[in-house]
Structure formats: structure tokens, C-alpha cells
Structure 1
Amino acid sequence: MSTVTPFPQPRAISTEVPAFDRDPTAHVIASDAEAIEVAKALAKEFAVEAAERDRERRLPAAELDRFSKSGLWGITIPKAYGGAGVSHATLAEVIATISAADPSIGQIPQNHLAALDVVRVTGSEEQKKLWFGRVLRGYRLGNAFSEARSKTVGAFETTIRPTGEGDFVVNGQKFYATGALFAHFIHIGAVDPDGNVVLAIVPRDTPGLTIIDSWSGFGQRTTASGNVSIENVRVAPEGVIPAYLGGVHPSSNGAVSQIIQAAVDLGIARGALNDTIRFVRELSRPWIDSGKEAASDDVFTIAQIGDLATRVHAAEALLERAGHAIDTIADGPTDVALDEVSVKVSEAKVLTTNVAILATNKLHELAGTRSVLGQYNLDRHWRNARTHTLHDPVRWKYFHIGNHLLNGVSPPRHAWN
């Protein structure tokens, strides 16, 4: 009889809190154009030590302070509440721009931004004023949503119950908690007594809340996407957001979550393509049979670069189209409109996923053997693409797109579609 050796269980690495500004003051961005210009400037800065941060797994707490203080974490807040209310096409471009420099930094605000859309759609007027105001001042939200041991990614065992004293208590265990280690507030996905999923937002130092840096993934290494332990954590009423309403009624919630994920993958593809071009120009040797003096003159390499650039630009176009489509359903979407937007976002997710994996793989094929040397750490692009694109598999995107077009079946409504 054969025996099966169980997979080793993850171990806690650290509960040490990274040093970051606990009382921030942020700039307030006023327009789409300003958001993109600020993102470009930050991307240049973040790119400088991206390879070293990945190699050393040096957590980007200081970079995140600069990122959120720039105002970019508040750009989706509606103008009525003091934000820029930028287009979702602009949001996607901002995330892609940052992710081309360092996709770990680009991914960390994803759950923060998705939570803001949940607050916008399902929160009360008082909750919107409270949480939007805090974000505009520079406070960050961190994710405690997914669970490692539940049956599916959308199933939750974490519970929230009224205490009888006017507040609530939450208990559970979370994993894939991207952003939590660096956050001022943690939004916890929990199931209420009626079986509905709500967000419970609490200060990071709330008693009973423990954030554990146990992320050991080979990619997206500095996201610190580890565990959150929640033991009798008390939540005030203003922190309980009825997130389930965003799925009961047509809303932008799922599409917003997805377009940010797609933008991270587009950024990875851009970064890989840029590094491929630079490496081939500066360091690669021409292949022996090419008869060329420079690797950049190799006709097959030239053709492959042209192919990759075309695919990246196609993904950019679909991502921009998806962003503008989300804009049309921000307020009062219909079921029909939401279905069409979901399809557009899924199509963008398919292309950004595929081009991220292709571009990061082609980097080494075209740049040659010396591109795998540790001193360059270029394999981080492939590791990041392969890791991040596992978030929601595109094999299901193809199915939902086709099932809607052929059979009129509405795509699912959740954060993974």
C-alpha cells in the first residue's frame, strides 16, 4: 500500500508590524490627468529598486506611504465626497503604470479600492462620509477577505454576531490578506446570522486582530499576502458594511475588483517587454546563425518583439474599453447593462493574463541565457505573472463570455468575476 505524504502546512513568519506613517496626510488629486501624471512620476521612483526589493523580500512600507500620500488611493471617491471620481479607465491605467514598475506595489491597493466601491454602492450616507473622508486623509484599508480552508474561494466561515451591547463581534481565520500588513484599517469579510456576507472594518490595532506575515509565494513576494487571525474582534456599527447587497442587486462591485486585477497583469507585461527590449539592445548576443552583429538585428527577435508589442497594445485597448464600460454602470445599473460590462471586463482579463504570461516567458527566450543570471533578477517578472494570474482563472472567463453570447446566461456576480 502506498502512502501519501501530506503537503507541509504554512508556518507563521512574523507578526512584526512594518514601520509606516500611522497619522498620514494625503494630497487630494483633482482630475484624471493629474492621477496619471502622478502615477508616472511614482512609477519611475518605484522601478529603481524593484529588483532588489523582490530579491531581498524587502517590504515596501515606505513606498506605500508615498503611494497613498500622493492621493492615488482616493481617486475613485466620488466628487460629491471630495474625491476626483476618476474614470475606471484612468484607475486601470494608474494601476498598470505602477505595476509595470513593481507589481507587488501595484497589487496592494486592489482590495482597498474594491472596498471603497463596496462602501459607495452599499454603505449608508454616514458610512460614506466617514470612510471616504478617512481615505482622502491618507488612511489605507487592508484586506481580510479570502480564507484558505473554506470549500471555495467564495465560501466564508468567519462570522459576525451582535453582542447585545450595540456593537458586533467577529471570529475567523483569513489568508491571502494582501495589504493588511501595511493598513490602518482592516476590512473583514464575515457572514452574519442570516448568511449574508458583510464587510467589518476595524482599526488594525483592535484587540484580537493579529496580522501575520506568512506569505511564501514565489511571486508577488513583497505583498505580504499572509494570514489574519480574528478572535472576538469588536466592530462598531459604522464599520459594518452590507456588502452582500452589491450582489443581490446589479452593481459595479465585481467589475471594479476585476479590472484592477487585469491592470496589474497588464503592468507586468509592460514591465517585462520593456526589460526585454533593453536587455536585447544592451546585453544579449546575436545568435550564431543570424549573421548579425547585434542581437537587436536578429530578424526572428525583431518579429517576436513586434508580436508582443501588438498583444500588449490590444490588451491596453480592451482594458480601457472595460474601464469606460464600468463608468456607465456606476449608478443604477440594469441587469442587461451589467452583463455586457462583465463580458467586456472578462475579455480584458483574458488578454492581460495571456500577455503577462507570454511576455514574461519570451523575455528569457529572446534575451538569452545570461538573462537568467541572479544579478538581474529578471525571473521576477515571470514569477509575478504566474502568481498573480492565479487569482481568477481565465479558463472560466472564456466559458462565461461564450455562455452569455450563445445562451444569454448572465455571468456570475462576485469579486472573482
Structure 2
Amino acid sequence: MSESYQPEYDALAARFRPIFTRVAAGATERERQRELLYEPIRWLKEAGFGTLRIPVAEGGLGATLPQLFQLLTELAEADSNLPQALRAHFAFVEDRLNQPDSEDRRRWFNRFRDGELVGSGWSEIGNLKLGEVLTKVSPIENGWHLSGEKFYSTGTLYADWIDVYAQRTDNGRDVIAVVSTHQPEVECDDDWDGFGQRLTGSGTTRFKQARVEPPHVYDFSERFRYQTAFYQHVLLSTLAGIGRAISRDAAQGVAGRKRIYSHGNARQVKQDAQVLQVVGQVASWAWAVESTVQRATHSLQQAFETHNNAEGESAIRHANILAEVESAKAQVIASELITRAAGELFNALGASDTRLSKALDRHWRNARTLASHNPVIYKMRNVGDWEVNGSEPTYVWQIGNGE
């Protein structure tokens, strides 16, 4: 982190580090028992974590984007499920920050100060064509009805609102409909069956003519322009936090290990040169990823600061290209090195450390799951196309069945 942000960051982080310690203390047991995150989420809400990006003048904590993502890295070191579960919330807050001041924006900030959170409902699975949106929002008297089904609904189990990607039935436009979870017409299932990130609340959400308040339908074309890079950075910060946890567990495991091999290099494992080399390699990879990810957050901050730049479209476009390209470069580094570190960890430990009771396999499973989001091979191509041909990166994409 740059010196310009460090003093303010330390003061901000001090507010949450005791909570991060509590979160970390129960992370292994939650993983083993598949215990959902209701209690840790409550701790964070009560401490105002959801208001990090809201300006101080409007009752929030006024964090910069580098500060936000560094805090998410610290939180991910404690439990990598939590930053991803809050991903949609911080993206929705960011979108409100990019909009002009209004009564609607102030109402949302008030809700977040009261501890309310936003979850995600964008992706659909099943037999749908590329780009097709089956979830529909229809105008009714004094509001809207929302009907459809989403999967990968990250964070919805813990949320008061869901940020839903839908299509209007009256004019066919793609929109965001923000729907309250506190109604029987919204059903959230804990049926996420991935091998990693098991506690993120990323299962199925069904909307059965759920009511949406009149002002809570927003045209998708008006979303903040650096949203793709922002969403990716939550995953990157989480990977950086997993790297920290791997480095921590490697060092602690070696320091406390008593059993040695007859063909080792020392009478204590913590003095074995080859084992120390492994720990050093893992720690270096983790440091490199965190440094890379944090460096890239500054281009996001620039995109935010120029989103309504008086200099015009050229400056805004340049800032958004930089944010997208740098997030893609960071993704290439993080996806490779953290998954490698999660496997290399066991070369410093012993067979006993593969026991389920220690749950050290979660680091690889979680990192591999996060690295599978937004395929890195296409990001590499985007970076290469930008470097060679000056082609703008892909900002928003869709998924569905091919021809």
C-alpha cells in the first residue's frame, strides 16, 4: 500500500481487526461443519463494515478503494467466504456512489448505516441462449413484479436486498431490480454444491411475483463503468487473503512440528533448510500477489475519481481501460501463484496435515474456485490484444448456450 494511504488505513483497520481475529478462530470448524456465516456477518454489520465506502459526511467510513480491498484481503485471510459473500453489496454501494446525489441514494445509504446488506442475483443456468434473460420484471400499480430463477446467488442468504439482473416486459430493456428478501415471494436455497467457497450463500434464488418498490428498477446501461474490474477485484483481494492464510499456516505448522524424517536435514523441522525454502517460496508468492492486487486497486480509484470528470469522455475512457487491464493482469498472477502456493504448502508439512480436522485443503479448493470465475485465459487474451493492437478490453460479458 502506498504511503499516502497507510496512516489512515491503519486507523481504519484497527476498528475491524478484533473481529477478523474472532472470524479466524472459527473458520476451520465452520468449514468442517459447513456452518453458514450468519454470526460473522452480524459482527461485521454491527461494526459498520457495510458502510466502508459511504462518505463520512453521509454517515459512512469514507474508505478509498485501495483501503476497501486491503480490508477485504485481511478479512479473507480470516475466512475467504466472507469477502465473496459481500461482493454484491460493495458493488451496489459503488454504483450508488457513481450516481448523482438524490433522495434515492440517501435512502440506500441510510439502510446500509442500519446494517442492511445486498446480495446478488445475476446468473441463470439451464437451457437458455447466449445473452438471454429469463427473469422478468413487470410494471404493476405502485411498483413492479419480479419473476424468475437465479443461481450463483452469492450473498443472498445473508442479505436484506438482492441486486437482480432482469428484463422489463414492457420495453425489453435489461435492468437491475433491487428486491427485498423479506417477503415470501423470494426463496433462497442453500444448494451451492461447489467444492470450494462453500459458505458464500451462492445457491438458487426464486422470485415468484416478488414485489419491487417503484424506484428500485435501474437501467443496466447506467451501471458504473468500472464494474467488471470492481467485481474481479473482490475475488483478487480474496485470493490475496488466501495467500496470507497459506503463508501463515505454513509458518505455524513448521514452527510447531516435532516429528522429523531420518533423511531430513536437521534435528528440528524448523531448522531444516529445504523446509524453510518451501515456506519462503510460499510466503514470497503470497507477498507478490498481494502487492500486485493492491497496486491495481489504484487504477480503480482513478476510475472512480474521474467518473464525472469535467475533462470529458477521453479521460474517463482512459481510466476505465487502465482499471480493466490492470485487474486482468493481477488476475493472471493471482490465479497462478495462489493455487500453486496452496499445493506447495504440503511440501513443508507432513502427511498428518492432510487430515480433515485441519481442513488445510480448503485453501486450494477455495483458491481454485475463485480462480475459475471470469476465465483467466480470456483475460490473458484481452491483455495481449491491448498491448499489441490497442484493442479495448471486454467490460461486460454474458453466458449461455452456444449454437
TM-score, normalisation: structure 1: 0.86
Answering whether residue 84 of structure 2 is matched by residue 107 of structure 1, we say: yes
In the other structure, the counterpart of 1:120 is: 97
Tell me if structure 2 keeps the 8 A contact 1:43–1:97: yes
Question: After superposition, what is the alpha-carbon deviation per residue over 1:235-257, rounded to whole angstroms, capped at 9, x for unaligned?
Answer: 1122112232237xxx2322221
Answering whether residue 381 of structure 2 is matched by residue 404 of structure 1, we say: no
Gaps of 5+ in 2: 1-7, 309-314, 399-403
Answering whether residue 238 of structure 2 is matched by residue 264 of structure 1, we say: yes
Tell me if structure 1 keeps the 8 A contact 2:278–2:347: no
What is the SS of the residue equivalent to 1:229?
A: strand
Tell me if structure 2 keeps the 8 A contact 1:98–1:267: yes
Question: After superposition, what is the alpha-carbon deviation per residue over 1:136-184, rounded to whole angstroms, capped at 9, x for unaligned?
Answer: 2211111122122265896532111222x24222111101111111111
Question: Structure 2: how far apart are the matches of 1:402 and 1:95?
Answer: 29
In the other structure, the counterpart of 1:70 is: 47
In the other structure, the counterpart of 2:165 is: 189
Q: 1:150 to 1:336 in 2, by over 3 A?
A: farther
Question: After superposition, what is the alpha-carbon deviation per residue over 1:316-372, rounded to whole angstroms, capped at 9, x for unaligned?
Answer: 222222112111111336212211121111122222222221121112222121110
In the other structure, the counterpart of 2:348 is: 366
Question: Structure 1: how far apart are the matches of 2:43 and 2:200?
Answer: 16
Question: Structure 1: how far apart are the matches of 2:283 and 2:289?
Answer: 10
Q: 1:145 to 1:122 in 2, by over 3 A?
A: farther
Pick from 128, 136, 158: which aligns with 1:159? 136
Answering whether residue 361 of structure 2 is matched by residue 379 of structure 1, we say: yes
Residue identity matched to 1:158: T
Question: Structure 2: how far apart are the matches of 1:337 and 1:104?
Answer: 30
In the other structure, the counterpart of 1:198 is: 175
Question: Structure 2: how far apart are the matches of 1:258 and 1:121?
Answer: 18
Residue identity matched to 2:332: V
Tell me if structure 1 keeps the 8 A contact 2:299–2:319: no
In the other structure, the counterpart of 1:57 is: 34
Tell me if structure 2 keeps the 8 A contact 1:89–1:323: yes
In the other structure, the counterpart of 1:235 is: 212
Tell me if structure 1 keeps the 8 A contact 2:155–2:200: yes
Deviation of 1:41 after TM superposition, in Å, equals 1.9
Instruction: Indicate the percent of aligned positions where both proteins have the same amino acid.
Output: 27
Pick from 131, 149, 154: which aligns with 1:178? 154
What are the within-5 Å matches in structure 2 for residues 335-374 of structure 1?
335-374=317-356
Residue identity matched to 2:262: I
Tell me if structure 2 keeps the 8 A contact 1:123–1:242: no
Residue identity matched to 2:365: R
In the other structure, the counterpart of 1:91 is: 68
Question: Structure 1: how far apart are the matches of 2:242 and 2:129?
Answer: 27
What is the SS of the residue equivalent to 1:399?
A: helix
Q: 1:161 to 1:32 in 2, by over 3 A?
A: farther
In the other structure, the counterpart of 2:4 is: none
Question: After superposition, what is the alpha-carbon deviation per residue over 1:19-68, rounded to whole angstroms, capped at 9, x for unaligned?
Answer: xxxxxxxxxxxx64443223322211111111110100111201100012
Deviation of 1:131 after TM superposition, in Å, equals 0.9
Question: Structure 2: how far apart are the matches of 1:108 and 1:153?
Answer: 26
Q: Greater shift after overlay, 315-324 or 148-157?
A: 148-157
Deviation of 1:265 after TM superposition, in Å, equals 0.9
Question: Structure 1: how far apart are the matches of 2:203 and 2:28?
Answer: 21
Q: Greater shift after overlay, 63-72 or 331-340?
A: 331-340
What is the SS of the residue equivalent to 1:271?
A: helix
Question: Structure 1: how far apart are the matches of 2:63 and 2:182?
Answer: 32
Question: After superposition, what is the alpha-carbon deviation per residue over 1:254-285, rounded to whole angstroms, capped at 9, x for unaligned?
Answer: 22211111101111111112111111221264
Tell me if structure 2 keeps the 8 A contact 1:287–1:298: no
Residue identity matched to 1:204: T
Question: Structure 1: how far apart are the matches of 2:349 and 2:131?
Answer: 40
Pick from 243, 254, 258: which aligns with 2:228? 254
Question: Structure 1: how far apart are the matches of 2:258 and 2:339?
Answer: 21
Question: After superposition, what is the alpha-carbon deviation per residue over 1:1-27, rounded to whole angstroms, capped at 9, x for unaligned?
Answer: xxxxxxxxxxxxxxxxxxxxxxxxxxx
Q: 1:155 to 1:389 in 2, by over 3 A?
A: farther
The count of corresponding residues between Structure 1 and Structure 2 is: 382
Deviation of 1:99 after TM superposition, in Å, equals 0.7
TM-score, normalisation: structure 2: 0.89
What is the SS of the residue equivalent to 2:162?
A: strand
What is the SS of the residue equivalent to 2:21?
A: helix
Deviation of 1:124 after TM superposition, in Å, equals 6.8
Answering whether residue 375 of structure 2 is matched by residue 393 of structure 1, we say: yes
Question: Structure 2: how far apart are the matches of 1:301 and 1:393?
Answer: 34
Deviation of 1:195 after TM superposition, in Å, equals 4.2
Question: Structure 2: how far apart are the matches of 1:155 and 1:68?
Answer: 35
Tell me if structure 1 keeps the 8 A contact 2:278–2:345: no
Question: Structure 2: how far apart are the matches of 1:243 and 1:34?
Answer: 36
Q: 1:266 to 1:412 in 2, by over 3 A?
A: same
Question: Structure 2: how far apart are the matches of 1:362 and 1:67?
Answer: 32
Q: 1:392 to 1:286 in 2, by over 3 A?
A: farther
